[in-house]
């Protein structure tokens, strides 16, 4: 049995979808190391405030996106959204070239916030389209391959920045991301699905439906809790990585290259798992058990940090955890949305993937500072994270079983 079973009628849609996600992730990973270096330059102690700014940006952007979803067909609101971000990049490129050193620090903080919004938003829009196009059964077969396309794009973006940041200057790489975003828009336009005219019409509904539907649904609230626990534990590890980079590298170019190299290592490992194991694991274990792998691994990882709080263990844990997230948890998490009504696939999903996600960053970042103020180091924070990981595992298993029941009900 091949890792991926693609039916003839799915090939065209899948091909354009792969180009779409490759372009989006390449565009982001060109910029990610630049953001991480700017976050360090602006002061690790200021990162919680940058996460607060990111959450505020998400809160401002979500109603605007919901308004586009309400009024425009999906091809148009996706194109408008991506070109809006491309125009932002043109503006940032001009400002960075005109600003002096002191102004560049503040611009870097603004860019950190902007890219943190951009990252979740553009990827969430991609997956919203995928869970609208492919059903739960197709998702089990194809989402691993789409995740591999995302990882290939991330590898390409990381490689571009790792190899060119010193030669051409980090901010000049914004041009590559702008071009890649336009490729993503082209791929969306070329996606040709045999759907009714009604499905291609604007989705309609309320601008606030994403929020109201989320808080009325135990299932969607469960997804929110899953996201919150994931982001809190991720933020703990992110702060440690930022501290290590600050202490070990003295110049901006070296830090940017370091972040890109870490991303490259994560993505190469992720791609290997996605190509050879993700689809098999999903078919063999099902949604619930596959969704539980990342929180279980996180629980053991924090236990290892509590026992041996050294830099090598921390970095290894970060790399392996991120790979497990991208290779297994992310495509499986997207399956949770395939059983929802169409409006919720765009509005509720966007709210959860952006606002709730960044709310988790807030909880994680301020909690980390609070724990640090009490004198807790790597081991102490790891001990706190162990019960959080156990709760995350429990909600993962519940969500997976609920999704299976809802998918089965759709078939009848």
CA distances from 174 to 197, 210, 237 (A): 37, 32, 27
Longest CA–CA span in the chain (Å) reads 64
Residue 198 is predicted with a pLDDT of 40
Looking up tokens 């691993």 gives 144
**Token duo for residue 251:** 């110049």
Torsion (CA) 67, 211, 342, 126 in degrees, nearest 10: 70
Q: Which residue has the tokens 């005109």?
A: 98
3-state SS assignment for residue 300? helix
Euclidean distance between CA atoms 326 and 109, whole angstroms: 26
Cα distances from 68 to residues 29, 193, 216, in angstroms, run 26, 21, 23
C-alpha 389/C-alpha 383 separation (Å) is 10
Alpha-carbon gap, residue 220 to 343, rounded angstroms: 13
What is the model's pLDDT at position 312? 75
Q: What is the pLDDT of residue 1?
A: 44
Q: Which two tokens stand for residue 277?
A: 């194991």
pTM exceeds 0.85, yes or no: no
The C-alpha atoms of residue 347 and residue 271 are separated, in whole angstroms, by: 30
* Local confidence pLDDT in tens for the 412 residues of the chain: 455 677 888 888 889 999 999 999 999 988 887 776 665 565 556 667 777 777 787 777 777 777 777 777 777 888 888 999 999 999 988 888 887 777 777 887 888 888 888 887 888 888 888 888 888 788 888 888 898 898 889 888 888 887 776 677 667 788 889 999 999 999 998 875 544 334 455 666 666 777 888 999 999 999 999 999 999 999 888 777 766 666 676 666 666 666 667 777 887 888 888 888 888 888 889 999 999 999 999 999 999 988 987 777 877 888 889 889 988 998 899 899 988 887 888 888 888 988 888 888 888 888 988 988 888 877 888 899 999 999 999 999 999 999 999 988 766 5
């Amino acid at each position: 049995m091949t890792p991926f079973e693609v039916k003839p009628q799915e090939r065209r849609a899948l091909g354009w979808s792969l180009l779409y996600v490759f372009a989006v992730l390449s565009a982001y990973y060109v910029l990610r190391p630049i953001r991480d270096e700017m976050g360090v330059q602006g002061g690790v102690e200021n990162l919680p405030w940058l996460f607060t700014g990111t959450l505020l940006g998400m809160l401002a952007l979500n109603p605007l996106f919901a308004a586009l979803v309400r009024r425009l067909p999906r091809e148009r609101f996706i194109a408008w959204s991506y070109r809006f971000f491309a125009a932002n990049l043109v503006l940032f490129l001009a400002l960075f070239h005109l600003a002096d050193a002191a102004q560049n620090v503040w611009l870097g903080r603004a860019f950190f916030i902007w890219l943190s919004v951009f990252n979740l938003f553009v990827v969430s829009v991609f997956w919203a389209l995928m869970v609208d196009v492919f059903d739960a059964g197709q998702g089990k077969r194809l989402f691993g391959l789409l995740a591999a396309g995302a990882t290939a794009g991330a590898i390409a973006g990381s490689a571009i920045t790792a190899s060119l940041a010193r030669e051409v200057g980090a901010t000049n790489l914004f041009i590559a991301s702008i071009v890649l975003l336009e490729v993503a828009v082209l791929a969306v336009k070329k996606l040709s699905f045999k759907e009714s005219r009604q499905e291609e019409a604007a989705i309609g509904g309320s601008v606030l439906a994403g929020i109201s539907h989320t808080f009325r649904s135990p299932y969607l609230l469960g997804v929110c809790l899953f996201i919150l626990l994931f982001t809190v534990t991720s933020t703990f590890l992110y702060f440690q990585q930022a501290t290590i980079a600050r202490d070990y590298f003295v110049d901006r170019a070296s830090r940017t290259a370091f972040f890109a190299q870490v991303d490259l290592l994560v993505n190469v490992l992720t791609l290997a798992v996605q190509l050879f194991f993700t689809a098999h694991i999903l078919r063999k274990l099902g949604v619930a058990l596959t969704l539980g792998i990342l929180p279980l691994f996180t629980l053991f990882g924090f236990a290892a940090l509590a026992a041996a709080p050294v830099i090598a263990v921390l970095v290894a844990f970060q790399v392996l955890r991120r790979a497990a997230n991208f290779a297994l948890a992310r495509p499986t998490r997207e399956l949770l949305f395939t059983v929802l009504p169409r409006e919720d696939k765009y509005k509720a999903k966007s709210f959860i993937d952006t606002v709730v996600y960044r709310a988790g960053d807030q909880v994680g970042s301020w909690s980390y500072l609070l724990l640090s103020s009490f004198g807790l180091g790597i081991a102490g924070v790891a001990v706190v994270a162990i019960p959080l990981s156990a709760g995350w595992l429990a909600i993962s298993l519940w969500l997976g079983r609920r999704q299976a029941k809802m998918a089965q009900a759709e078939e009848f």
